[in-house]
């Protein structure tokens, strides 16, 4: 009896283990596509039950007979719905990494034909379609229908929310009788590289229920939670005796598309009165967003703290409080510098002490050439000038002087003038800040915000950058190239430029005296984007030869490129057409700073602080070849040498003519003296 019971027990455990193994894929993939797992396999559990699963399950093959013909083709339609359904919030990628469909059609004669297929992939509200043409001749070996690194259309939004649909549909057009088969169990699949995902339910474990039922807590404890959609997270606590009450909120890094706005939390007394406006310090280091609020000398008693979210947004956070006394610290306005300058030289790869001074093409040499040309013409055109000197020296010298000393510098000075369709560095900065201001406004689609924020120098794909720069120095590099130094960057104040755009935007403060959410968002985005744009410009101002002029022209079309940086602030997502994709990726990786921290203090005076730690792996080998930067030039590459040659010939001819004339005068004088002596 005991033995039978043990056998039954073991059999039960074995069956239970087999059952768990069968259902394990579904259990282990309850979140559907996430950052850790974006592979979906075509699986059929039954003829009419086909799904997309995170692991291959079900039938190995689905097949059937067809009696189709060219006159009466047959269309087979398959639909695969993701199971389990989407549980996480995920950010969709811009490309489909890989798709494989193993569908075969064999005729009655045994030949393999590749039928036409129309494919549709539905990701949330986005629909993408592809078509595969049919083969006209039989194939020796069957081949899969493949897609690799295909761009995805995400015009309906990149965010895949909970329970959003993920479906794959394809229609096969059969025009020959035979046998068809769809192979699965890992043979047919699609793969997505999901850049970001979050389990909203797990992140929001600490969420209070409502504004009317705040959670009782201790102000100085650490609290963790998330604002999911239009949440109202509220806590009730007692405020003790203090001089400074400090609240610090650390927001996790999330994509721009789902980032919550960060208005000042409501700090309400037991009587329902809103506390005065605090000092606010915002610190964005690219990994998290830290916002510190400081109230001074609040009345003691019971308070309620509430943070409010927006629909279709999600962002985890943690917060803690502190009762303290007045003193200096990183959250105090006195910890901010009065000015925030661009850190010029962070992208220099040569020795600045060896820099060569550059000048523009002045009018001095042109005036000298004109005077000498007039002199040579007067001497050459005299009737007494020897023909050999006139045509052998004067004419070549005058032509060389005309081309090298007059036409060449005139051409060069014309090239140094700002062209009608060119902009200056100041204009580029103004346009960039205006662009960031416009896209940071409420109601602008998050995809639009991300696209414009990440565009290098604010230039989108297909746009053309034409700019004139005035350069004072050029640094020689070890490989023979020259890096150009922009003097305007040395005195560029980031805070003045950014706050100037805020004033230009006519932003009004709220009734509480706090900067509006758009303004805060703009300042953080602008501080980071402008610094990275100027860093990239400084790094790429490299030319092959030593410039002949201090005026530099840039002319390039911008192409799309993979972005670098963070989800919240993508960078360098467009590249000059003259730079290859591989060179651009290498430049991004080596140039991107070790740390960028943008801190904003909304205090009595608005202050901005930039902490910048450059990359230590950037060198001259990372700078791509010439891409559209050129120095203003004259008519000829060696115009100066031609001018000197003309001057030399003209002076030699003039000297010879003067000597010949003097010799003739001496000879004539000798004849005169000889005649006078004879008459005597």
Q: What is the 3-state secondary structure (H, E, C) of 194-216?
A: CCEEECHHHHCCCCCCCCCCCEE
Rounded to whole angstroms, how far apart are CA atoms 78 and 55? 19
Contact 131, 117 (CB under 8 A): yes
**DSSP H or E run through 644:** helix 639-679
Beta carbons within 10 angstroms of residue 194's beta carbon: 17
CB 526 within 8 A of CB 433: yes
In the chain, domain spans: 1-27, 31-198, 200-335, 352-356+419-631, 364-414+638-679
Confidence of residue 25 (pLDDT cuts 50, 70, 90): very low
Q: Which residue has the higher pLDDT, 402 or 184?
A: 184
Contacts of 3 (CB under 8 A, 6+ apart): none
Q: What is the mean pLDDT of residues 200-212?
A: 74
pLDDT score recorded for residue 366: 61
Q: Look up the CATH number of domain 31-198.
A: 2.60.120
Instruction: Count the residues in the chain.
Output: 680
Residue 581 host element (H or E):
helix 581-591
User: The CATH number of 200-335 is which of 3.30.750.24, 2.30.30.60, 2.60.120.380, 3.40.50.300?
Assistant: 2.60.120.380
Report helix, strand or coil for 357: strand
Question: pLDDT (tens digit, 9 = 90+) per residue, 558-612?
Answer: 999 988 877 667 899 999 999 999 999 999 989 998 878 787 776 656 778 887 7
Q: pLDDT for 352-363, tens place per residue?
A: 888 888 865 556
Q: What is the pTM of this model?
A: 0.62
pLDDT at 23 over 60: no
* Domains 31-198 and 200-335 fall in the same CATH topology: yes
Q: Which tokens sit at 250?
A: 């650390």
């Amino acid at each position: 009896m005991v033995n039978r019971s043990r056998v039954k027990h073991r059999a039960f455990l074995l069956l239970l283990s087999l059952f768990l193994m069968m259902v394990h894929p579904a259990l282990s993939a309850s979140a559907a596509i996430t950052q850790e797992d974006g592979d979906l396999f075509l699986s059929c559990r039954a003829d009419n039950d086909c799904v997309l699963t995170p692991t291959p399950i079900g039938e190995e093959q689905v097949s059937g007979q067809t009696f189709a013909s060219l006159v009466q083709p047959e269309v087979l339609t398959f639909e695969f719905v993701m199971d389990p359904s989407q549980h996480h919030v995920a950010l969709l990628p811009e490309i489909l990494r890989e798709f494989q469909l193993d569908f075969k059609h064999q005729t009655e004669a045994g030949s393999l034909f590749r039928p036409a297929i129309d494919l549709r992939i539905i990701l949330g509200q986005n629909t993408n379609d592809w078509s595969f043409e049919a083969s006209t001749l039989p194939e020796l070996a069957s081949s899969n229908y493949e897609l690799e690194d295909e761009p995805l259309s995400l015009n309906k939004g990149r965010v895949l929310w909970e329970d959003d649909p993920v479906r794959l549909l394809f229609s096969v057009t059969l025009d020959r009788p035979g046998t068809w088969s769809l192979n699965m169990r890992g043979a047919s699949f699609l793969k997505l590289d999901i850049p970001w995902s979050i389990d909203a339910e797990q992140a929001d474990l600490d969420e209070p229920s409502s504004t009317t039922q705040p959670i009782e807590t201790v102000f100085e404890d650490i609290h963790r939670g998330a604002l999911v959609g239009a949440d109202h997270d509220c806590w009730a606590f007692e405020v003790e005796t203090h001089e400074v009450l400090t609240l610090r909120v650390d927001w996790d890094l999330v994509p721009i598309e789902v980032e919550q706005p960060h208005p000042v939390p409501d700090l309400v007394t037991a009587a329902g009165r809103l506390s005065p406006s605090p000092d606010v310090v915002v610190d964005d280091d690219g990994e998290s967003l830290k916002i510190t609020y400081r109230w001074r000398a609040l009345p003691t008693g019971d308070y309620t703290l509430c943070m409010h979210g927006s629909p279709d947004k999600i962002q985890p956070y943690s917060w803690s409080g502190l009762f303290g006394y007045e003193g200096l610290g990183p959250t105090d306005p006195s910890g901010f510098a009065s000015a925030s300058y661009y850190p010029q030289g962070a992208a220099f790869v040569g020795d600045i002490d060896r820099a060569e001074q550059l000048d523009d093409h002045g009018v001095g040499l042109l005036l000298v050439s004109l005077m000498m040309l007039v002199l040579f013409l007067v001497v050459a055109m005299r009737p007494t000038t020897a023909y050999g000197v006139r045509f052998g020296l004067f004419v070549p010298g005058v032509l060389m002087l005309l081309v090298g000393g007059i036409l060449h510098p005139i051409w060069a000075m014309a090239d140094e003038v700002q062209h009608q369709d060119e902009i200056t560095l100041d204009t580029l900065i103004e346009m960039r800040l205006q662009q960031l201001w416009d896209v940071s406004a409420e109601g602008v689609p998050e995809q639009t915000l991300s696209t414009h924020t990440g565009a290098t120098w604010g230039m989108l794909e297909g746009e053309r950058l034409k700019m004139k720069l005035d350069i004072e120095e050029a640094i020689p590099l070890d490989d023979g190239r020259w890096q150009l130094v922009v003097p305007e960057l040395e005195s560029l104040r980031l805070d003045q430029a950014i706050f100037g755009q805020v004033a230009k935007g006519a932003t009004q403060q709220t009734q509480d005296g706090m900067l509006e959410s758009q303004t805060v968002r703009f300042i953080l985005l602008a501080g980071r984007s402008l610094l990275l744009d100027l860093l990239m410009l400084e790094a790429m101002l490299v030319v092959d030869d030593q410039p002949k002029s201090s005026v530099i022209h840039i002319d390039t079309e911008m192409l799309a490129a993979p972005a670098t940086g963070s989800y919240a602030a993508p960078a360098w997502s467009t590249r000059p057409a003259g730079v290859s994709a591989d060179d651009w990726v290498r430049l991004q990786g080596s140039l991107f700073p070790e740390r960028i921290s943008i801190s904003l203090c909304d205090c009595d005076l608005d202050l901005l602080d930039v902490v910048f730690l450059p990359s230590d792996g950037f060198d001259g080998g990372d700078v791509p070849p010439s891409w559209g930067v050129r120095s203003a030039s004259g008519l000829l590459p060696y115009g100066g040498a031609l001018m000197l040659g003309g001057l030399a010939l003209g002076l030699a001819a003039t000297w010879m003519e003067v000597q010949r004339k003097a010799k003739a005068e001496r000879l004539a004088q000798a004849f005169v003296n000889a005649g006078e002596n004879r008459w005597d």
